[in-house]
Amino acid sequence: MEALMSLIVGVLTAGGVYLLLRARTFSVVLGLTLLTYAVNLFLFASGRLTIGAPPILDPELSRYTDPLPQALVLTAIVISFAMTAFVIMLALRARAELGNDHVDGRASAGASKESEA
Amino acid sequence: MNHLVIAPLLLPLLVGTLLLLSRRTLSLAARRSLNLAAILGQILLAIELLILVGDGTILTYHLGHWPAPWGIVLVADRLAVWMLLVTSLLAFFALLHAMQGTDRCSRHFHPLFQLQLFGLNGAFLTGDLFNLFVFFEILLLASYGLLVHGGGAARVRAGLHFVVINLVGSTLFLFAAGALYGLVGTLNLADLSLKIARLPPEDLGPAQVAALLLLAVFALKAALVPLHLWLPSAYASTSAPVAALFAIMTKVGAYALLRVETLVFGEQAGILTGFYAAWLLPLGLLTLVLGALGALAANELRRQVAYLVVVSVGLLLAAFGLGTADGIAAGLYYLVHTTLATAAFFLLADLITRERGWAADRLVPGPALPNAGRLGGLFFVTALLVAGLPPLSGFIGKFLVLRAALEEPVWPWMLGVVLFSGLLGIIALARSGSLLFFHVRSAGSGAPTQARPTQGLLGAALPTLGLLALCLALLIGSGPVLDLAQATAEQLLDPADYIQAVLKPIGIQVAPGEVWP
């Protein structure tokens, strides 16, 4: 399970970084979203992966899941959700103000050829 | 447990919410006075806290009465209160300047301003790493709104870069926090300090990865080379009061670096002793040089001032990177000076821009300024302050940093780089000063030739004068301020009191045995 989890985090991070380096705002937003998914899974795994154990301390139980990372993930999800909403609005505003959806505000020569093709 | 510790958080949060709810019902004048009164309240709170912690007491506030490593804890020690005071003083003058018209553009300026202060105060007071992340997000979200306040293509473009790079920074922060939690099982800074010290040598690799990720995040906030590239265009394109308030934003990164450097990776940190200091010094010196070169190459006044912010971050972090009490004390004095002086420079650049008409703040020969004498005088004084020439407070700050460096083996590097970049800074400021005030040229056909004289220059320049007066007060009162800085540095280098204050059980109703298994 640990191998699968780290593989998923790795693939999501790699995809996120790749999309983040693209020129258009839409792929950048998608990249940010993938990165936050990756970090949420990573935070979740930082409390160790335990199956079928309650996240509560109980003297009668010998095994329990660390509840703190779950609380952290919840906070991180809320914050990243708000930030994604904000960055989408800002990207739309930039599209309106700058006339194109490029991150640096101008279509470079290569990118305009690509859109013509 | 002292309830005063949480007051600097509650006041801006409540006033910010009130300002948001009343944005359609209250008049602009009432909202302005409410905002100003709240900032005055924060100044008084910071002074009151400074009196309380001045003798070395460390005040803690355990939210919901939960004991420390599990619950949320706020800590007010000398450093945190020092930062609170600088922030509130800066915010007061930035808001005064904003009242000259910047706040008319949208109804949300005043709530965002208070929420920005809420995030800043929280970041300084919090005692655990995850809440530092949360408060970073709060101050960033408010700063995104403030940065694009007023709109315009340049502002939105710079805002988009600022937002995306900071969101990446936030993700890295979470990775770092998760890695540290997975390694030692705590995020409370005091507890982290104890557990890092007991880390077995085989965990050195993962611990270094987590520490370096954290360093990258704070370096991004502080605009340390090579993560400084977002700063110049963001600061140069936003409105003047926001740029002035943002003078403290890079210092939040510097604060976090200093806190983690001394508390978590300090003398007692076992295998990670002095881990940050080794990075901060060379990166700080590199930042100094690149920032000074940027200031020399800038073709707009505001961009030049933004590069001077980068320069000041370099000197600050190089001073913190010395890791000695003298170095940190010198850095703390310089931090206050540079925050106030660069903020004054941003406000002054706005005054000059308003008068120059078509030439705005571009460093080209422009129209003759109607108030050239008075504005030029202000420019001269501010430039002396920022460049660190005698007899003003910038010189004292720089001198102290260099004196602290002389006792370290790196002194030739430090002296050479600081003096060389100082020279570059002086050249850059002399060039822009002579271009702005002496090289007069009428505009080409079609452009209006007359520059507009500002009505009531004294009133418009009042916030700038206020910040300059604070710098003067810093110069006159440098004795007591330096004593406080020295005491703060010594408190930071001996974190036992901090750890004790945070982690001791707070049981008044609860017996210590119950909360401390």
**DSSP letters for B394-416:** HHHHHHHHHHHHHTSTTHHHHHH
**pLDDT at B506 (0 to 100):** 52
- Chain A: closest CA distance from residue B206 (Å): 13
CB B137 within 8 A of CB A83: yes
**pLDDT at B323 (0 to 100):** 86
What the block records as the tokens of B475 is 């110069």
Share of chain B above pLDDT 90, in %: 54
Instruction: Give the model confidence (pLDDT) of B454-489 as tens digits.
Output: 667 888 889 999 999 999 999 999 899 999 999 999
Mean pLDDT of B128-135: 93
* CB-CB neighbors (< 8 A) of B156 in chain A: 90, 93-94, 97-98
Assigned domain for A15 exists: yes
User: d(Cα B244, Cα A10) in Å, to the nearest integer?
Assistant: 40
Q: Cβ–Cβ contacts within 10 Å for residue B18, how many?
A: 18
User: d(Cα B172, Cα B390) in Å, to the nearest integer?
Assistant: 41
- Chain B: closest CA distance from residue A103 (Å): 7
Instruction: Give the model confidence (pLDDT) of B215-244 as tens digits.
Output: 999 999 999 888 888 899 899 888 899 999
Q: Which residue has the higher pLDDT, B145 or B457?
A: B145
H helices of B55-152, in order, are: 78-98, 109-125, 129-147
* CB-CB neighbors (< 8 A) of A42 in chain B: 174-175, 178
If DSSP codes are grouped into helix, strand and coil, which group holds residue B47?
Answer: helix
Question: CB contacts < 8 Å between A and B, how many?
Answer: 85
Is B82 a residue whose pLDDT tops 70? yes
**pLDDT at A48 (0 to 100):** 83
Instruction: Give the model confidence (pLDDT) of B313-346 as tens digits.
Output: 999 999 999 888 999 999 999 999 999 999 999 9
**Residue appearing with tokens 């050479």:** B416
Which of B135, B167, B217, B229 would best serve as a mutation to test chain A binding (most A beta carbons within 10 A)? B167
**pLDDT at B355 (0 to 100):** 83
Between β-strands B73-76 and B59-62, what pairing exists: parallel, antiparallel or unpaired?
antiparallel
Nearest chain B residue to A40 by CA: give it.
B174
Nearest chain B residue to A43 by CA: give it.
B178
Instruction: Give the model confidence (pLDDT) of B370-428 as tens digits.
Output: 888 888 899 999 999 998 888 888 899 999 999 999 988 888 888 999 999 999 999 99
H helices of B106-228, in order, are: 109-125, 129-147, 153-184, 189-197, 204-222
Q: For residue B306, which of B410, B364, B231, B202 has the smallest C-alpha distance? A: B231
User: d(Cα B387, Cα B307) in Å, to the nearest integer?
Assistant: 12
If DSSP codes are grouped into helix, strand and coil, which group holds residue B98?
Answer: helix
**pLDDT at B216 (0 to 100):** 94
Type of residue at B66: W
User: d(Cα B407, Cα B385) in Å, to the nearest integer?
Assistant: 26
Cα dihedral: B295, B301, B306, B311 (round 10)? 30
Report the complex ipTM.
0.90
Q: How many helices (H) and strands (E) would you count in chain A?
A: 4, 0
DSSP state for residue B390 in the 8-state scheme: T
CB B46 within 8 A of CB B88: yes
Assigned domain for A6 exists: yes
User: d(Cα B440, Cα B359) in Å, to the nearest integer?
Assistant: 11
Is B183 a residue whose pLDDT tops 60? yes
Instruction: Give the model confidence (pLDDT) of B188-207 as tens digits.
Output: 998 888 888 888 888 888 88
Cross-chain residue pair B174–A43, CB shorter than 8 Å: yes
**pLDDT at A52 (0 to 100):** 81
Within an 8 Å CB–CB cutoff, is residue A68 touching chain B?
Answer: yes
Assigned domain for A57 exists: no
Instruction: Give the model confidence (pLDDT) of B40-62 as tens digits.
Output: 999 999 999 999 998 888 999 98
What the block records as the tokens of B1 is 């447990």
Assigned domain for A38 exists: yes
pLDDT band at A8 (very low <50, low <70, confident <90, very high): very high
- Residue B250's alpha-carbon distances to B62, B364, B510, in angstroms, are 28, 29, 41
Cα dihedral: B269, B272, B278, B283 (round 10)? -110
pLDDT band at A2 (very low <50, low <70, confident <90, very high): confident
**pLDDT at A117 (0 to 100):** 39
- Residue B174's alpha-carbon distances to A20, A77, A80, B455, in angstroms, are 17, 11, 11, 50
Helix axes B189-197, B153-184, angle to 10 degrees: 50
Annotate B163-175 with b (16+ C-beta within 10 A) or e (fewer).
bbbbbbbbbbbbb
Phi first, then psi, for residue B506 (nearest 5°) are -100, 15
User: d(Cα B419, Cα B98) in Å, to the nearest integer?
Assistant: 35
**pLDDT at B452 (0 to 100):** 58
- Residue B194's alpha-carbon distances to A80, A111, B447, B494, B502, in angstroms, are 31, 53, 66, 13, 12
**Residue appearing with tokens 């004498």:** B373
If DSSP codes are grouped into helix, strand and coil, which group holds residue B389?
Answer: coil
pLDDT band at A107 (very low <50, low <70, confident <90, very high): low
CB B338 within 8 A of CB B397: yes
**pLDDT at A109 (0 to 100):** 46
Q: Which residue has the higher pLDDT, B160 or B444?
A: B160
Q: Which residue has the higher pLDDT, A117 or B310?
A: B310
Type of residue at B340: L
What the block records as the tokens of B436 is 């702005």
* CB-CB neighbors (< 8 A) of A27 in chain B: none
Assigned domain for A59 exists: no
Type of residue at B269: A
Is B265 a residue whose pLDDT tops 60? yes
Q: For residue B97, which of B42, B23, B13, B32 has the smallest C-alpha distance? A: B32
pLDDT band at B512 (very low <50, low <70, confident <90, very high): very low
pLDDT band at B515 (very low <50, low <70, confident <90, very high): very low
| CATH number assigned to the domain comprising residue A9 | 1.10.287.3510
**pLDDT at B454 (0 to 100):** 62
**pLDDT at B444 (0 to 100):** 54
Share of chain A above pLDDT 70, in %: 90
Could you list the residue range(s) of the whole structural domain that residue A38 is in?
2-51+65-116
Q: Cβ–Cβ contacts within 10 Å for residue B105, how many?
A: 12
Mean model confidence pLDDT for chain B: 88
Is A116 a residue whose pLDDT tops 60? no
Is A23 a residue whose pLDDT tops 60? yes
pLDDT band at B64 (very low <50, low <70, confident <90, very high): confident
